Structure 1
Amino acid sequence: MVPISYKMDDDIMNHVAHENQHVAKGNDSQCLLSILDMPFEVVGVPFEATLYTILQGCSLEIVPDPLLYVKIAQEVAKVDGSTTDVGSASPPPDTPPTAPDERQWDPMGIMRSNTRWAALQSWKDETAAEVDRILEEVGGFSLNSHKSRLCSDLAERSSGADMAPQITQRTQQIWLQDSDPEVRLYYTESLPVSEHCKGTILLIHGFPETSYQFRHVVKPLAEAGYRTIAPDYRGAGFSSHPPGGYTKDILSQDLHTLLVEHLNIKDPIHIVGHDIGGMIAFAYVSQFPDDVASIAWGECPLPGTKHYETNKHTPPLWHFSFHAQPDIPEALVAGKERMYIKHFYDRLAQKPSAFTNEDLDFYATQYSMPGALRCGFNAYRMFKKDAAHNQNWLSNMGKVKVKNMILSGERSLVAKGAVEMAEEVFENVTPGFVEGSGHWIAEENPEDFVKKVLAFIEH
């Protein structure tokens, strides 16, 4: 049976569990009628596919109640928009309704071909004629005239070709500190389909972005078998905006507390950090090396390295100095957030079209919130302290020995010299490049981003 994933609604989940008991007992009619009446919002697998799987698991040693057919026909009629009175003697319309693309005619995946064909396959021969009459009456469809489609559709459905893997996804926030100043972290968690979880991946975003930057990759990473956590770090996105705590050691400690104390994750995790998130990832593995199985990081000159000191005042990194100034960046950018952040997306991307107007509006809204710009710039103002922390860790503990990959955009401005920089602080560096991408690797080429991350983790 395909796992069923609903948005977190206890009443619905309890209902599903109850109905699955009916399936186990072979009470097909009661089960199906009850599920058809059930309020639902399915994430991932269409409801029709779930219903098909339930029917496949039914013994059907008895003929279900004939009212079941009427119920099916009524539901089909609702989707078709038919005004035919189900069960009446009225003839079908002269011109049967044209069937558009399945995803348009049934956008929620509630009821259509899977349900109809699976039900028709299961119903007993003596009732097929009645079912055919009802279906033709409400929608102009005939079992006989669509027999070839029925056979091919059933073969595809039963093979699982149309049943994409599901994930369970939730968003939540936790309080690291509820006194003044409030420290609250928002995060998205995606759980894999299979009961066997391969591990946990922590995705750490950069500036001027939030966890939203991983919107295209959290699902495929979870479908690959990984519990995926994507937080908005302190001061960003939906998280709170406290005035202090923007050195990367503190930002990484926040995330460690989230995972270990609040999510009870005890096994070593896989970290993926981008931009400022790459700096936070390095601070995380430096402080908690035993809690990290691997780290993929990049698209950031790391404070304290020779690469950083050489390039921090060059034209490509002009904003490092600008953001580090007190007060003036906030005063100049406030009210112009959309234009300012779009400058970075356009300038640093090889595929600017990766950012839709909706994406720009989302990010602009996040950074126009009170305190958001200040917090974002504070992460840059702490680079000098971050450099001292990084050099101190390197001096005391030597290069990090945890499995690592420096992950860059193939055509990014900061890709040159990235491997040499990583070799200053890590042993056995693995280079990785997201094909055709500029700086925004998870958004410009999410497919190759996922491919490179999984290949590294699972190698």
Structure 2
Amino acid sequence: MSTQAFAEVGALRLAALTAGSSERPAIVLLHGWPLCSAIWAPVMPQLSKERFVLAFDLPGTGKSTGGTPIPTLKADIAEAILDGANALGARDLIVAGVDVGGMIAFAAARDFGNRVAGAVIMNTVLPGLDPWNELLAHPQIWHFALHQITNLPEILVTGRERAYFDFFLDMLAADKTKLDDQLRRACVEQYATPSALRTGFDWYRSMPQDAEHNAVTQPIDTPILYLRGDADRRPIDPYLDGLRKAGASRVQGKTIPGSGELLSVEAPDLLVAALLQFADGLSARQT
């Protein structure tokens, strides 16, 4: 059973679904685009038996409101999320995210490593890290360029959000029938206002700046787990190599069978097992 909670972070009011005792170490879950916090519902009950779980609406979408301007650089979002998690009682936290949420999880590890115990990055390419340039040139990644154009995506998508989002959900899933109507409607509702829709596209518009930021190599001591579903058949090694070249010294990877991008929906038991194994390994190192 999850509870809706809110944290005031400067001018932002961040919303999170929470489950489990705040006395336990925390796992912070971050959605991407065009996703919403509801994608974590299948894994929160199991995770909350051992951890304090917080599934945030990213700033400017869903119930997370306020902020002028709304942060869209991934390091800025990471800082806001960490402040919000701490305000809600999170400690010894792991930040785990999919898609854009994974970019934010990396920013937490890279730029705020002293505030997190670990980071889990799921099914995303990281701006500025290999294989970033290779992926941008791939025809299937056409939407990265489209979404960076000023105003045009909003003009094309407004009023057609369900059809547009369904296209991506169907493309990214190993089995699109696992993404039910309730989840699909929740994702549309996440971006229901003009400002929320614009915020989602602004995550893409800020990626060139994210790439410049991330391309500056520095030591990253935070333990990182990189997860991929096996549906797109891309090998995981180039992503792990990109993290190591960026300065990450404690990187491990795992491919989850029978899943596309939405590991939490398509393979919830396997994702829970991977997250808790990673978390337990961090705890063992600290004792």
Shorter-chain TM-score above 0.5:
yes
1:193-212 deviation per Cα after TM superposition (whole angstroms, max 9, x unaligned)? xx973x11111111101211
Q: 1:329 to 1:434 in 2, by over 3 A?
A: same
Counterpart Cα distance in 1 of 2:249 and 2:169: 32
Query: Which has the larger share of strand?
Result: 2
Matching residue of 1:172: 5
Matching residue of 2:34: 208
1:251-305 deviation per Cα after TM superposition (whole angstroms, max 9, x unaligned)? 0111111123x2244x431121111011101111122212221211131111111
Shift in Å at residue 313 of structure 1? 2.9
Q: 1:327 to 1:254 in 2, by over 3 A?
A: same
1:430 and 2:259 matched = no
Shift in Å at residue 323 of structure 1? 0.5
Counterpart Cα distance in 2 of 1:273 and 1:358: 21
Counterpart Cα distance in 1 of 2:184 and 2:253: 31
TM-score by length of 1: 0.58
Counterpart Cα distance in 2 of 1:218 and 1:447: 11
Q: Which amino acid is the alignment partner of residue 13 of structure 2?
A: R
For structure 1, which runs of at least 5 residues remain unmatched after alignment?
1-42, 44-168
Shift in Å at residue 378 of structure 1? 0.1
| SS of match in other structure, 1:389 | helix
1:454 and 2:287 matched = no
Matching residue of 1:306: 130
Report the identity percentage. 27
Matching residue of 2:284: none
Where do residues 134-213 of structure 1 align in structure 2 (5 Å cutoff)?
Answer: 169-178=2-11, 183-192=12-21, 197=24, 199-213=25-39
Contact in 1 for aligned 2:130/2:241 (Cα 8 Å): no
| SS of match in other structure, 1:172 | strand
Runs (4 or more) in structure 1 with deviation over 6 Å come to none
| SS of match in other structure, 1:371 | helix
Contact in 2 for aligned 1:335/1:368 (Cα 8 Å): no
Return the match for 2:88 from 263, 266, 286. Answer: 263
Q: Which amino acid is the alignment partner of residue 439 of structure 1?
A: E
Shift in Å at residue 423 of structure 1? 2.6
Q: 1:429 to 1:174 in 2, by over 3 A?
A: closer
Contact in 1 for aligned 2:120/2:226 (Cα 8 Å): yes
Counterpart Cα distance in 2 of 1:308 and 1:336: 29
Shift in Å at residue 246 of structure 1? 0.4
Return the match for 2:240 from 419, 428, 431. Answer: 419
Q: Which amino acid is the alignment partner of residue 245 of structure 2?
A: E
Counterpart Cα distance in 2 of 1:378 and 1:366: 15
Contact in 1 for aligned 2:18/2:52 (Cα 8 Å): yes
Return the match for 1:230 from 55, 64, 82. Answer: 55
Shift in Å at residue 335 of structure 1? 0.4
Matching residue of 1:217: 43
Where do residues 61-72 of structure 1 align in structure 2 (5 Å cutoff)?
Answer: none
| SS of match in other structure, 2:272 | helix
Contact in 2 for aligned 1:407/1:431 (Cα 8 Å): yes
Shift in Å at residue 419 of structure 1? 2.5
Counterpart Cα distance in 1 of 2:143 and 2:66: 21
Contact in 2 for aligned 1:213/1:443 (Cα 8 Å): yes
Matching residue of 1:359: 183
TM-score by length of 2: 0.91
Q: 1:415 to 1:382 in 2, by over 3 A?
A: farther
Contact in 1 for aligned 2:9/2:80 (Cα 8 Å): yes
1:324 and 2:160 matched = no
Q: Which amino acid is the alignment partner of residue 228 of structure 2?
A: S
1:386 and 2:214 matched = no
Shift in Å at residue 240 of structure 1? 1.6
Matching residue of 2:223: 403
Which has more radius of gyration?
1
Aligned pair count reads: 278
1:219-242 deviation per Cα after TM superposition (whole angstroms, max 9, x unaligned)? 10001x100111111122221265
Return the match for 1:247 from 60, 69, 73. Answer: 73
1:375-417 deviation per Cα after TM superposition (whole angstroms, max 9, x unaligned)? 000000001110121123x2xx32x122221111122355543
| SS of match in other structure, 2:62 | coil
Counterpart Cα distance in 1 of 2:66 and 2:198: 9
Shift in Å at residue 373 of structure 1? 1.2
| SS of match in other structure, 2:65 | coil
- More contact order relative to length (CA 8 Å, sep ≥ 6): 2
Matching residue of 1:444: 266
